[in-house]
Amino acid sequence: RVVVLDYGRKIADGTPEQVRSNQAVIDAYLGVSHG
């Protein structure tokens, strides 16, 4: 089980596969592509 926090707020909770594909996690930790 993985829990992901962003500035102290839980943004995802689940299996590694679920968390890895969660858009909020991608945006918070990998950034957002601009084109």
pLDDT score recorded for residue 35 = 65
For the range 30-34, what are the long-range contacts, defined as Cβ-Cβ under 8 Å and sequence gap of 24 or more? none
Number of domains present in the structure of the chain: 1
pLDDT score recorded for residue 31 = 84
pLDDT score recorded for residue 32 = 73
Residue range 1-35, pLDDT digits in tens:
999 999 999 999 999 999 999 999 999 998 876 76
pLDDT score recorded for residue 25 = 96
14 is in which domain, residue-wise?
1-35
Q: What tokens were used for 3? A: 């829990």
